[in-house]
């Protein structure tokens, strides 16, 4: 669907302009036009972007054809931006997804293009419908509004991951198992993904905040710096979370190794205590001491007492030796 909103200077805001009206609006320097292409077919979008707006074919291909890392390209008359909205669902197999948002920004217009739903854009649209002032402050402030909403959606995702790691840390000293391991690795992957999309977006905002581009007003720089600070902080937090997840994995492996150690110690102790005495009773179970051989002295009372004694003394000695080796 193609949505559009246009505010000419001194006139009332108009919605859903016809294609020829869009062309006319572009000619008027003082107004502000926002065209939002949401899930529109590639051909329709291409013709609009190429013919009505006159964007460079390479820029249009970038927008329509494939997914990109976040970036900003300066085409002189306009900027082309790629940003990513984040979709997070801890329950899912792959908890973190991103939806690409392509933006074209001219002196008096903003074009947003997306193939998947991005609530941040919808929220900004709704805000513009409710309150015209969002359109009065110029295209830079409108862009800021869109990006600010986009970035605001990152925090709940980061917080959910933080909580998940807290849960893992509590569990890891308790009952470590394959499920816990799987969720550690899922979180690790999600954090890698998150960092990989935050880092280039931070760079994009840094460029906007430095005022590298002629299309944007000098005065709007502080707003982009504000979002840039947000992204710096998000990156910082996600770095911290990555370290925590790494630590949780190390803890997990250490706890498992510890527990294995304890298990093996027990096995060894039991074996050391019982194998010698089992041999002893096996010895006295041989048939040498039966009618055939006249070795009856070996199976008389004193021998029995001796064996009973050995069955106490041998394990006790073994146990003391184990204690000296400091296993238990």
Q: Is 218 in the site for a second copy (CB under 8 A)?
A: no
Residue 251's DSSP bridge partners are none
Q: Answer whether 6's CB lies under 8 Å from 33's CB.
A: yes
At CA 262, angle to CA 261 and CA 266, rounded to 5?
Answer: 115
Residue 203 CA to residue 145 CA, distance in Å, equals 18
**Min CB(191)–a second copy separation in Å:** 10
Q: Is 295 in the site for a second copy (CB under 8 A)?
A: yes
Q: Answer whether 110's CB lies under 8 Å from 99's CB.
A: no
Nearby residues of 268 by Cβ (< 8 Å), 6 or more positions away: 327
Tokens encoding 62: 């970038």
Q: Is 153 in the site for a second copy (CB under 8 A)?
A: no
Say which residue the tokens 């760079």 belong to: 203
Report how many residues bind a second copy under the rule CB under 8 A. 86
**Min CB(75)–a second copy separation in Å:** 8
Q: Is 254 in the site for a second copy (CB under 8 A)?
A: yes
Q: Is 223 in the site for a second copy (CB under 8 A)?
A: yes
Q: Is 307 in the site for a second copy (CB under 8 A)?
A: yes
**Min CB(297)–a second copy separation in Å:** 9
Among 8, 181, 215, 310, binds a second copy (CB under 8 A): 181
Q: Which range touches a second copy (CB under 8 A), out of 3-11, 29-37, 46-54, 304-312?
A: 304-312
Neighbours of 226 (CB within 10 A): 14
Please choose, from the candidates 6, 66, 19, the residue with its C-alpha nearest in 3D space to the C-alpha of residue 42.
Answer: 66
Q: Is 243 in the site for a second copy (CB under 8 A)?
A: yes
Q: Is 292 in the site for a second copy (CB under 8 A)?
A: yes
Site for a second copy in 69-128 (CB under 8 A): 69, 71, 73
Sequence-ordered alpha helix ranges (H) in 211-300: 221-283
Q: Is 211 in the site for a second copy (CB under 8 A)?
A: no
Q: Which range touches a second copy (CB under 8 A), out of 6-14, 31-39, 120-128, 291-299?
A: 291-299
Across 115-230, the runs of DSSP E, i.e. the strands, are: none
Q: Is 268 in the site for a second copy (CB under 8 A)?
A: yes
Q: Answer whether 113's CB lies under 8 Å from 103's CB.
A: yes
Q: Is 193 in the site for a second copy (CB under 8 A)?
A: yes
Q: Is 236 in the site for a second copy (CB under 8 A)?
A: yes
Among 14, 50, 56, 107, binds a second copy (CB under 8 A): 56
Residue 112 CA to residue 117 CA, distance in Å, equals 12
Q: Is 163 in the site for a second copy (CB under 8 A)?
A: no
Q: Is 284 in the site for a second copy (CB under 8 A)?
A: yes
């Amino acid at each position: 669907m193609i949505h559009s909103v246009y505010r000419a200077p001194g006139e009332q805001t108009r919605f859903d302009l016809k294609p020829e009206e869009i062309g006319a609006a572009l000619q008027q320097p003082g107004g502000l036009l926002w065209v939002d292409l949401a899930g529109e077919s590639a051909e329709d979008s291409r013709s609009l972007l190429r013919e009505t707006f006159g964007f460079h074919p390479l820029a249009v291909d970038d927008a329509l054809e494939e997914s990109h890392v976040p970036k900003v390209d300066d085409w002189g008359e306009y900027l082309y931006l790629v940003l990513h909205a984040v979709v997070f669902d801890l329950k899912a197999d792959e908890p973190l997804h991103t939806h690409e948002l392509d933006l074209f920004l001219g002196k008096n217009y903003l074009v947003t293009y997306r193939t998947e739903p991005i609530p941040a854009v919808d929220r900004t649209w709704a805000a513009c419908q409710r309150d015209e002032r969002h359109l009065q402050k110029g295209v830079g402030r409108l862009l800021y509004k869109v990006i600010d909403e986009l970035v605001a959606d990152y925090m709940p995702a980061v917080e959910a991951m933080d909580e998940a790691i807290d849960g893992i840390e509590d569990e890891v000293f308790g009952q470590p198992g394959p499920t816990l391991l799987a969720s550690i690795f899922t979180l690790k992957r999600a954090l890698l993904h998150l960092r990989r999309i935050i880092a280039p977006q931070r760079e994009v905002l840094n460029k906007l905040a430095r005022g590298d581009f002629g299309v944007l007003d000098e005065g709007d720089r502080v707003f982009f710096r504000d979002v840039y600070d947000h992204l710096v902080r998000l990156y910082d937090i996600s770095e911290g979370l990555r370290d925590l997840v790494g630590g949780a994995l190390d803890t997990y492996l250490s706890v498992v190794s510890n527990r294995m150690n304890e298990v093996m110690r027990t096995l060894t102790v039991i074996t050391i205590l019982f194998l010698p005495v089992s041999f002893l009773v096996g010895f006295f179970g041989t048939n040498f001491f039966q009618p055939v051989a006249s070795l009856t002295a070996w199976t008389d009372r004193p021998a029995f007492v001796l064996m009973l004694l050995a069955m106490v003394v041998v394990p006790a000695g073994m146990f003391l030796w184990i204690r000296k080796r400091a296993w238990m």
